[in-house]
Amino acid sequence: MTVTAVQTAATLPLTGRIAVVTGASSGIGAATARLLAARGARVALLARRVDRLDGLAAELGEAALPVRVDVADPASVQEGTALITERLGRVDLVVNNAGVMLAAPFADRRTGDWQRMIDTNLTGALRVVDAFLPDLLAAAADGRTADLVNISSIAAHAVFPSFAVYCATKAALSHFSRNLRTELGPRKVRVTSIEPGLVATELQGHLDHPDVNAVIDDWRKAFDWLSDADLAELIAFTVARPRHVNFPQIVAMPTEQV
């Protein structure tokens, strides 16, 4: 290997890879898309907010393809998948990040919020895997590295008053990841579930219950939260490992969060 090739492998370890990042309009998704592109990947940016996607795509240039997709809508996912295939080719890296966090005491009976979280955090995530799994399997069969990264939450394991349905969706996503790995690992597709603690993103802006907001405000003052850049760095590191190395489950917590 030439010196130039060695330098490229070190500084651009994702060169040649085709990535999909859902929820790419802000937070962890946007930060991850930036870092994957900076390390050599071409990245399809998926989210509902086209203006944000277009702004990020303009920042990233030819490395990025903005695609308006609502993961809760089967037709939207199908159309987005077809466009990505046409423009970028076979995908070998999927970061399943789209999600919504709504919270209130269960007795408040916010059934619309329950359904929205289930449709996005769970059913939407399954829909994305279904859409891109043939690409991942084909990439692996061709001897390329293939990664599925599901962004879950520490809420998959912990208990938080007023977050019962959100926690349930993340618990389901984490257990789906563990079970899916038993099917895909032998076919050389890596499955990773990343379960962060508190991350400072606009996700908390979805909360509108005064008691819940008061608790969140207390947590903000109590300790330093993770940043979206922290999670992006973790994702980029994970998918750049040699293809025989898989981190099935990663829990990333603020040092002071217990």
- Range 207-215 contact pairs with CB under 8 angstroms and sequence separation of 24 or more: 207/101, 207/102, 207/103, 209/103, 209/104, 209/105, 209/108, 209/162, 211/105, 211/162, 212/103, 212/104, 212/162, 212/163
The 3-state DSSP composition of the chain as helix, strand, coil percent (nearest 5) reads 55, 15, 30
Query: 3-class DSSP state for residue 253?
Result: coil
Determine the Cα–Cα distance for residues 112 and 67; give it in Å rounded to an integer.
Answer: 26
Residue 166 is a catalytic residue: yes
Query: Which of 114, 163, 166, 176 is the catalytic position?
Result: 166
* Active site residue ranges: 166
